[in-house]
Structure 1
Amino acid sequence: MYKINFNTSEFLSTHWQKEPLVIKGAFSNFVDPMSADELAGLACEEEISSRVVITKENNWEIIQGPINDYEQFGEDNWQLLVQAVNHWFPDSASLIEAFRFIPDWRFDDLMVSFATPGGGVGPHIDNYDVFLLQGEGTRRWKVGAKGNYTPRGGDTHTALIDDFEPIIDVVLEAGDMLYIPPGFPHCAQTLTTALSYSIGFRAPSQQELFSSVADHLLDTNTGLKRFTSTSEPVAASSVSIEHQKGMLSLLNELLKQPEQYQTVLGQLLSQNRFELDLSDPESPYQREDLTDALSEGAEIHRIGGLKVIKLEGDTEQRLFINGDIFACEQLTSEEIEHLANAFIIDNQQALTLCGSSAMSEMFVGLLNKGFYYLA
């Protein structure tokens, strides 16, 4: 079990999305949740996003996974990066749980890196919040102030930038952590062979929000109200200010309707950027199968990375899970809270919850979706 050694309320009020922070000893006696060999094994899999970054003089070469041969890279100046490790490696779940002082909907993924001396990524700027937790080994991190930086090589599609003047220059050891909000340039250099953990948090962009609204309106065949006006411009070629504002007010009207925006937000915020490791059953579960398994001591586990979201003030009693809507009219508010918050439902809790036929049916549906599994 991992426990954070700093005041999270103070952190959220003074640093979260405001300024970088070095937290020495963020985790006491930190033990890596995985080994370098286990990380390399994940990088062999086709469905898992991975890459090797090779440090060259004033440049970096990226080799996309799957990666099966590491001898070709030598003993220094490279690092392996594997995305969404929490989806594929259950033992990482307790590390993720330590960061749930930030809402689940913001959580993006756990990226793990293995780096040899000299390995690292060049100066770059991310558009998300990230906690950089050091495991085995040591890495030197530099962070710069927010500002207008030139994209490396003039490429506006890259996060890489030209160098910056550091406001933070620190060596992280096991259990140390660096928090970086969006927009602050940073880079790392590996001093001794190291495992590092990047816990990322992301919020939707305007593009993503508008795209989700449009998809929802098309899927539900709603938003059909058309613009009307009480006056017309004198020039036939002109679109008046009044007409421009009137058309945009149609969008504003839609976005004020909870029955529209709540569904959009619930579906969008419960989805993942990376593929999930669904636990599809060999044959569909029935209630009797669940009852038998629980009587033999089984627990109910949520698969890694699955987001179970509920909206405060929702116009309907429901949960959003991986972009799907699950109606919960037959469940109590306590049952909904338990389902939304628990990664693992132990045997005694599961037996109690499944005393309700509605809750039992809900679990059967989630098991058959591959979102949960019996352990």
Structure 2
Amino acid sequence: MDYQLDLDWNDFLQRYWQKRPVILKRGFKNFVDPISPDELAGLAMENEVDSRLVSQQDGRWQVAHGPFESYDHLGENNWSILVQAVDHWHVPSSALMRPFRKLPDWRTDDLMISFSVPGGGVGPHLDQYDVFIIQGTGRRRWRVGEKHPLRQHSPHPDLLQVEPFDAIIDEEMEPGDILYIPPGFPHEGYALENSLNYSVGFRAPNSRELISGFADFVLANELGSERYSDPDLALRENPSEVQSAELEKLRGMMMSQLQNQDNFNLWFGEFVSQSRHELDIAPPEPPYQAGEIYELLQSGESLERLGGLRVINVAGSCYVNGEIIVTEHSAAAQALAREYVINAAMLGEALDDPSFLVTLAALINSGYWFFRD
């Protein structure tokens, strides 16, 4: 399915992105669900798939985590199944991510899909990331409040909710409607009838994650081995004092690692190209030889990218699933990062270089790209 989003992106970015929530009525015209409730329930039974079941009765909330063996115990009201990273596992659903590529790939996270019966939802809460919520089959009522401090509480150890709030948006959404919510705006949605919802979420790393990730990179690459030295050390009246110049020198030692642009770029490319969820990797058996790949592409075959695979361009170098693509053919690498489906013309003269074919074979044999059947 080729989903076409009816949205003026320049206007949206200026007026709403990270500023105000908005409902985009009929953002997808004649919307067709890429997945059925039964298919979603089946995914939630798989070990590799991150899923949960949220229910409530008389204000008592329950959360169970998949994989699930049966749904026979569930009633007709007040529960939802939520499945993360469905774009990794279900090819038709991954098409819903494509219309949002007007926004940078590195900021995009995954597609979460929920199925809810009447009354189903996760309660009032807020997120620290941007999200587009697409209404599929059914109707759901959404309330969104103003961004201001709200007390949070946990009615269940696996749920974090907020206190009641006044709504600035209070509407029923129908198939094809899209609700955009910036970080920090409280919101609450519950199904009015059996409903499918699709949430396109965005990454927003905090300083703690960045510092931790960069520290891991420094350790893994054995960087920062320079030791503190003070050949001009002078006597001081108070031996317990750490002087400001010493603190500044220590800070400078740490900052020098961040200020090494090449190392920073390499780290960030590895960091941001890693998926937060499992990928449906199935390496080909037997593995492809470089010559086979050349012949298939030259005969008109195309390569398709694995669903959910992150291929990110940082400062002219391309990274896939935490690793840099080492090649002299930058245009071919850029094509791998830019396009979901690759043909011989997109790779150009790189196909005539045996070393590039070896690199491409390694990517295909890792299960990252595959030939369409």
TM-score, reference length from structure 1: 0.92
**CA distance in 2: counterparts of 1:117 and 1:153, whole angstroms:** 23
1:137 Cα deviation from its structure 2 partner: 0.5
- Using the TM superposition, name which of 179-188 and 252-261 deviates more: 252-261
Alignment-derived partner of residue 319 in structure 1 = 318
* Cα deviation 1:105-158 (Å, max 9, x = unaligned): 111110001110010011111111110110110111111112221121599985
**CA distance in 1: counterparts of 2:110 and 2:155, whole angstroms:** 29
Alignment-derived partner of residue 334 in structure 1 = 331
Native 8 Å contact 1:137 1:194 kept in 2: yes
Alignment-derived partner of residue 79 in structure 1 = 80
**CA distance in 2: counterparts of 1:351 and 1:19, whole angstroms:** 44
1:65 Cα deviation from its structure 2 partner: 0.7
1:243 Cα deviation from its structure 2 partner: 2.5
Native 8 Å contact 1:118 1:191 kept in 2: yes
1:352 Cα deviation from its structure 2 partner: 7.3
1:28 Cα deviation from its structure 2 partner: 0.8
1:95 has 2:96 as partner: yes
Cα 1:71–1:157 shift into 2, 3 Å: closer
1:152 has 2:153 as partner: yes
* Cα deviation 1:47-68 (Å, max 9, x = unaligned): 1011111122223211111123
Q: 1:303 aligns with which of 306, 311, 334?
A: 306
Alignment-derived partner of residue 119 in structure 1 = 120
Q: 2:262 aligns with which of 255, 259, 262?
A: 259
Cα 1:158–1:189 shift into 2, 3 Å: closer
**CA distance in 2: counterparts of 1:231 and 1:21, whole angstroms:** 61
What amino acid is aligned across from residue 328 of structure 1 in structure 2?
A: T
**CA distance in 1: counterparts of 2:116 and 2:159, whole angstroms:** 22
What amino acid is aligned across from residue 172 of structure 1 in structure 2?
A: M
**CA distance in 2: counterparts of 1:224 and 1:346, whole angstroms:** 45
SS of the equivalent of 1:112 reads strand
Gaps (5+ residues) in structure 1? none
Native 8 Å contact 1:287 1:360 kept in 2: yes
Report the number of matched residues: 369
**CA distance in 2: counterparts of 1:252 and 1:155, whole angstroms:** 42
1:346 Cα deviation from its structure 2 partner: 4.2
Alignment-derived partner of residue 177 in structure 2 = 176
Alignment-derived partner of residue 364 in structure 1 = 361
Cα 1:157–1:104 shift into 2, 3 Å: same
1:297 Cα deviation from its structure 2 partner: 4.7
Alignment-derived partner of residue 272 in structure 2 = 269
Alignment-derived partner of residue 44 in structure 1 = 45
Alignment-derived partner of residue 228 in structure 2 = 227
Cα 1:182–1:231 shift into 2, 3 Å: farther
Cα 1:142–1:210 shift into 2, 3 Å: same
Alignment-derived partner of residue 218 in structure 1 = 219
1:359 Cα deviation from its structure 2 partner: 3.7
SS of the equivalent of 2:245 reads helix
Cα 1:208–1:157 shift into 2, 3 Å: farther
1:2 has 2:3 as partner: yes
1:345 has 2:346 as partner: no
TM-score, reference length from structure 2: 0.93
SS of the equivalent of 1:16 reads coil
SS of the equivalent of 2:325 reads strand
RMSD: 2.1
Correspondences of 1:239-258 after superposition (within 5 Å): 239-258=242-261
Native 8 Å contact 1:279 1:303 kept in 2: no
1:285 Cα deviation from its structure 2 partner: 1.5
SS of the equivalent of 1:152 reads strand
**CA distance in 2: counterparts of 1:12 and 1:253, whole angstroms:** 35
1:257 Cα deviation from its structure 2 partner: 1.1
- Using the TM superposition, name which of 199-208 and 353-362 deviates more: 353-362
Cα 1:248–1:137 shift into 2, 3 Å: same
